[in-house]
Amino acid sequence: MALLTYREALRAGLDEELARDENVVILGEEVAQYNGAYKVTEGLWKKWGDKRLVDTPISEAGFIGMGIGASMLGLRPVMELMFWSFAYVAFDQIINNAGCIRYMSGGLINVPIVIRGPANGGTSVGATHSHTPENLLANMPGLKVVVPATAADAKGLIKTSIRDNDPVMFMENTLLYGEKWEVPDEEDYLIPLGQADVKREGKDVSLIAHGRPVLTCLKAAELLAAEYDIDAEVVDLRSIRPLDEEAVLATVRKTHRAVLVEENRPFCGIDAQVASLIQEKAFDDLDAPVGRVSTIDAPAFYSPPVERRQLPESQRVIAKVLQIC
C-alpha cells in the first residue's frame, strides 16, 4: 500500500493511463502549464508535453464539445471542469451529443470521454459553484456517473473510466483532495463501474451513501457504536449509474433498516431512486421506514457555519438512525 492524498491518487491514475494509451489526452482550463486549478494534473504537462495536456479557453460548451468530437474520432479525452457547476453551459453537448450518439448511430460511434472535476458544497464559494448534479446526469441513458469517496477508489475508478467506451461523468470533492488514504500500489489497480463497497460491516442498520457523505456515515457509525450500542453497516455506492442494486438489497436484507445519506438535495435526489429500489424489491425485509438525510433544500449558503449545517452532518445521521431504531 502507498499512502496518497485523493489528488495524488487521481494524478497517479491519470499518469498511468497517459503512459498506457497514446490516445489518452487531458484538456481543460489551466490543466497544463498551471498544473491544474486543484493541482490534480501537477507535473503531467512537463512530463507529457503539449500534445497530451492542453489548456483550453474559458468556454465549457466549447471545449467539452471539442472533447466529445475528439472521442468520436478515436481519442480518449479526460476533460477537467473547475467546478461541475460550470458544466451546465455544456449540457447540450453532454446530454444531446455524448449521451445520445452511440444510440443514434446504432452502436457504430462510441464516445469514450471522461468529464471530471469537483461537485460539492462546503467550501463557501456560493450557490453557483456548489452544485452536485449526479442526479441530473444519471437521469440520461447513455451517461455513466461515478462519485469516489476515497483515494483508492478515486484511482481505481478513474483508470476504469478512461478505458470505458461510454461517456463517464466523474465527480470529485475539493474537501477530499488533501485527505490521505492507503492506495494499492499494484501495477494496474482497477475498480469496475457499478460495484458498491462495504466500508464498514454492521448488523443493526445500513447507512448507504456516495462521495464525501460516506465519511460522514463512517463517523456516525463509530459514534452510534460507542454511545448507543448500535452496529451500523456503511455501504459506499461509488457508482451511481450503473448502480449496484444487489449490494443495496443485500445490506437491507441483512440489517432490515436503511438510512440513505447524500449531498444531493432531497427532491428528485439519488436517494429517492435508492429508496424506490428498496421499497420495490426489499419491502418485506424492512423493519422500519427508509430514512433519508440530504442537503437542506435551498441554494448553497455562502456563510461557512450555516453551510456546514446545510450539508449532511454526522449528528443528523445519528438522529435519523435513532428515529428508526
Report CA dihedral (249, 293, 313, 138) to the nearest 10 degrees.
70
Per the residue annotation, which of 16, 17, 29, 129 is the catalytic one? 129
| Residue 42 annotated to the active site | no
Domain co-membership, 162 together with 267: no
Domain co-membership, 138 together with 57: yes
Domain co-membership, 40 together with 99: yes
Please name the residue that has the C-alpha cell 450555516: 306
pLDDT digits (tens, 9 = 90+) for 159-217: 999 999 999 999 999 999 999 999 999 889 999 999 999 999 999 999 999 999 999 99
Across residues 291-311, what is the average pLDDT?
96
Residue-level pLDDT at 219: 98
In a domain, 113, yes or no: yes
Domain co-membership, 202 together with 295: yes
Strand order, beta sheet including 232-236: 197-200, 232-236, 205-209, 258-261, 291-293
The CATH code of the domain that includes 228 is: 3.40.50.920
Domain co-membership, 9 together with 122: yes
Count of structural domains, the chain: 2
Residue-level pLDDT at 177: 98
Proportion of the chain above pLDDT 90, given as a percent: 99
Q: Cα separation of 162 and 67, whole Å?
A: 13
| Residue 255 identity | T
Residues paired with residue 205 on neighbouring β-strands, in sequence order:
232
Q: Cα separation of 10 and 135, whole Å?
A: 23
Of 183, 215, 237, the position where a domain reaches its end is: 183
Cell numbers placing 36? 491544474
Across residues 314-321, what is the average pLDDT?
98
Domain co-membership, 201 together with 160: no
Domain co-membership, 11 together with 128: yes
Would you say residue 250 has pLDDT above 90? Answer: yes
Residue-level pLDDT at 187: 83
pLDDT-based confidence at residue 241 (cuts at 50, 70, 90): very high
Per the residue annotation, which of 16, 17, 60, 307 is the catalytic one? 60
Average pLDDT, the chain: 97
Cell numbers placing 159? 483508470
In a domain, 188, yes or no: no
Domain co-membership, 169 together with 242: no
Half-sphere exposure of residue 93: CA atoms within 13 angstroms, side-chain side: 23
In a domain, 190, yes or no: no
Residue-level pLDDT at 127: 96
Q: Which domain holds residue 153?
A: 2-183
Residue-level pLDDT at 86: 96
Across residues 41-70, what is the average pLDDT?
97
Domain co-membership, 320 together with 228: yes
| Residue 29 annotated to the active site | no
Across residues 241-268, what is the average pLDDT?
98
In a domain, 191, yes or no: no
Residues paired with residue 79 on neighbouring β-strands, in sequence order:
27, 115
